[in-house]
Amino acid sequence: MVFFKPDAMLRGVIGEIISRFERRGLKLVASKMIALDRKFAEKHYAEHVGKPFFDSLVEYVSMSPVLACVIEGENSISIVRSLAGATNPINAQPGSVRGDYGITGRNIYNVIHASDSPESARREVALFFSPSEIFSYEKKWNP
């Protein structure tokens, strides 16, 4: 599960980032634009309650719509996390999503949220999507 944060939405870099996942053989099986209200954002980031950045993170992800996506493929979580790069853009390697698009010095302005485990992915997918919004298909083009 990934979602593109307001800085990615407002800067128009989502297509470039999705193409990185597709080039690695992953496939997009669900996506939708959603406006996160404070309650939804707090539920999503519940593990960070009490941390110094929690309120600013919730406020930030609620400032514009986000694009939520389910991306599948073998080792998809580790591949997406590797492509995303370190959470803090200052520490993200050039060539990673956060290294290329993250705003230096603002840890929360890091372009993308990426599930960190299968358990988190299941919880987050269920929070953002109903089962009928997730599509199964073979990634093969044969006109």
Instruction: Name the average pLDDT for the chain.
Output: 94
Would you identify the CATH topology of the domain 2-133? Alpha-Beta Plaits (3.30.70)
What pLDDT was estimated at residue 120? 96
Instruction: For residues 16-39, give the mean pLDDT.
Output: 97
Q: What are the sequence ranges of the domains in the chain?
A: 2-133
Is 44 known to be catalytic?
Answer: no
What digits encode the pLDDT tens for the residues 102-127?
Answer: 987 666 789 999 999 999 999 999 99
| Helix 76-84 × helix 14-23 angle, to 10° | 130
What pLDDT was estimated at residue 50? 96
Please say if the pLDDT value at position 73 is more than 70: yes
Identified catalytic residue from 89, 98, 113, 128: 113
